[in-house]
Amino acid sequence: MSRIGKKPVDLPSGVTASVSGQTVEVKGPKGTRTFTATDDVTLTVEDNAVSVTPRGKSKRARQQWGMSRTQVQNLVTGVTDGFKKELEINGVGYRAAMQGNILKLNLGYSHDVDFIVPDGVTVTAPKPTIIFVEGNDQQLVGQVAANIREWRKPEPYKGKGIKYKDEYIFRKEGKR
């Protein structure tokens, strides 16, 4: 039995969900999101909650049960609160600035890096060393943050580079 899958996903006020076949559509104050589940689970909406139940007792059905419920929960969280990733830039002369839909990054290269922000995500740089990536799609927010971090990963000697706010950089001792 899936402990996660057993719990129904509660819909807060202002959020509606509709199921048509294997697709659930969730509408809320921050937009509309959809998720299509596999044929191994059944999605139902009853008394302001979405419940997921497995079809059969196969291993695949039990695997999809908890995963599908978590995906529906992420839809509800996305349309109510949204998702946010914070990035920090460490290093002398390293900075970021927004110009329209382009994130300009100075990362010690001979040229500036222009990162074009995709649709569905908002990127802000309130300070030159802090970047916020926000949106209602958890996967897209995480992927955009990872793509920005990829330009200059933190190095272990001085910690220079782009890191997540809560990331710990294992430091190494330099030469003696």
What is the number of structural domains in the chain?
2
Residue 88 lies in a domain: yes
Whether 29 and 93 share a structural domain: no
- Quick: pLDDT tens for 20-67: 999 999 999 999 999 999 999 999 998 899 999 999 999 999 899 999
Residue 176 lies in a domain: no
Query: With DSSP H G I counted as helix, E B as strand and the rest as coil, what are the percentages for the chain, rounded to 5?
Result: 20, 40, 40
Residues in Cβ contact with 63 at an 8 Å cutoff, skipping those fewer than 6 apart: 40
Whether 67 and 118 share a structural domain: no
- 50 touches 44 (CB < 8 A): yes
- 50 touches 70 (CB < 8 A): no
**Domain end: 80, 104, 123, which one?**
80
Whether 88 and 155 share a structural domain: yes
**Domain end: 80, 110, 140, which one?**
80
- Quick: pLDDT tens for 149-176: 999 999 999 999 999 999 999 999 988 8
What do you get for the CA distance between the two ends of the chain, in Å? 56
Whether 28 and 89 share a structural domain: no
Q: What is the CATH number of the domain that holds 108?
A: 3.90.930.12
- Quick: pLDDT tens for 108-127: 999 999 999 999 999 999 99
Whether 122 and 71 share a structural domain: no
Instruction: Give the domain range for residue 133.
Output: 83-164
- Quick: pLDDT tens for 67-94: 999 999 999 999 999 999 999 999 999 9
